[in-house]
């Protein structure tokens, strides 16, 4: 929880700097690229910049090389250096996620998931996306998943909104209503 709060604070500071210079999307992309390096187990990036056994100047040089490799500007480079200096580089993936959420909110973008029993064609997905955009009032990007256990229909989720039109749920509701009459 503490890391999440810290990540949001750092992300908000970078977001506000990005708003001033018009580079919020670029900063979010840069953080995402570095977070991907953290996730790659074959590269010990997180350890190299967060391990206190390495001297601060070595950790800062490693982060500077990472910043250079992702073509970070001066503000982003200083931001990354500050994370190493304050021993907060370990929360960089959380900062990247918080930053992306802020950029999405600023651009009125929501992310959703559509679960279906079979693969849906693009025309049906486009209709579902248009309907969800109308309901939420935001631009919706959808991820599709296939789950044969729902039997048929779809389950659409965008943020807190869940629209469950699956046969499984309908059968469950019918079963409960029959049980209630006994």
- pLDDT tens across the length of the chain (182 residues): 778 999 999 999 999 999 999 999 999 999 999 999 888 865 688 888 988 899 999 999 999 999 999 999 999 999 999 999 999 999 999 999 999 999 999 999 999 999 999 999 999 999 999 999 999 999 999 999 999 999 999 999 999 999 999 999 999 999 999 987 66
Please give the model's pTM, rounded to 2 decimal places.
0.82
- Tell whether 127 and 175 lie within a shared domain: yes
Taking residue 156's Cβ as centre, other Cβ atoms within 10 Å add up to 21
For residue 14, what are the domain limits? 2-105
Sheet holding 154-158, edge to edge: 139-146, 109-116, 154-158, 161-164
Q: φ and ψ at 143, to 5 degrees?
A: -110, 135
CATH number for position 100: 1.10.520.20
- Tell whether 26 and 62 lie within a shared domain: yes
Final residue before a domain boundary, out of 105, 125, 157: 105
Judge residue 90's burial from the number of C-beta atoms within 10 Å of its C-beta, 0-12 exposed, 13-18 middle, 19 or more buried: middle
Final residue before a domain boundary, out of 64, 80, 105: 105
- Tell whether 100 and 22 lie within a shared domain: yes
- Tell whether 29 and 10 lie within a shared domain: yes
Q: What is the β-pairing status of strands 154-158 and 161-164?
A: antiparallel
- Tell whether 100 and 118 lie within a shared domain: no
Structural domain count of the chain? 2
Query: What distances in angstroms separate CA 165 from CA 16, 70, 106, 124, one per listed residue?
Result: 40, 43, 31, 14
* Confidence at residue 6, expressed as pLDDT on a 0 to 100 scale: 95
Cβ-contact 140, 158 below 8 angstroms:
yes
- Tell whether 173 and 122 lie within a shared domain: yes
Final residue before a domain boundary, out of 85, 105, 125: 105
- Tell whether 6 and 31 lie within a shared domain: yes
- Tell whether 136 and 88 lie within a shared domain: no
d(C-alpha 126, C-alpha 130), whole Å: 6
- Tell whether 86 and 11 lie within a shared domain: yes
- Tell whether 124 and 176 lie within a shared domain: yes
- Tell whether 51 and 118 lie within a shared domain: no
């Amino acid at each position: 929880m503490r890391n999440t709060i810290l990540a949001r604070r750092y992300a908000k500071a970078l977001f506000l700097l990005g708003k001033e210079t018009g580079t919020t999307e670029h900063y979010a992309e840069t953080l995402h690229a570095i977070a991907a390096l953290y996730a790659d187990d074959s590269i010990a990036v997180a350890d190299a910049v967060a391990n206190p056994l390495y001297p601060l100047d070595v950790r800062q040089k490693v982060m500077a090389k990472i910043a250079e490799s992702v073509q970070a500007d001066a503000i982003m480079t200083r931001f990354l250096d500050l994370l190493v200096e304050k021993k907060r580089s370990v929360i960089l993936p959380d900062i990247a996620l918080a930053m992306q959420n802020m950029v999405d909110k600023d651009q009125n973008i929501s992310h959703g998931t559509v679960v279906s029993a079979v693969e849906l064609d693009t025309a049906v997905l486009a209709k579902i996306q248009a309907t969800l955009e109308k309901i939420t009032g935001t631009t919706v990007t959808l991820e599709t998943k296939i789950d044969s256990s729902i039997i048929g229909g779809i389950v659409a989720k965008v943020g807190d909104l869940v629209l469950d039109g699956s046969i499984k749920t309908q059968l469950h509701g019918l079963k409960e209503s029959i049980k209630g009459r006994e």
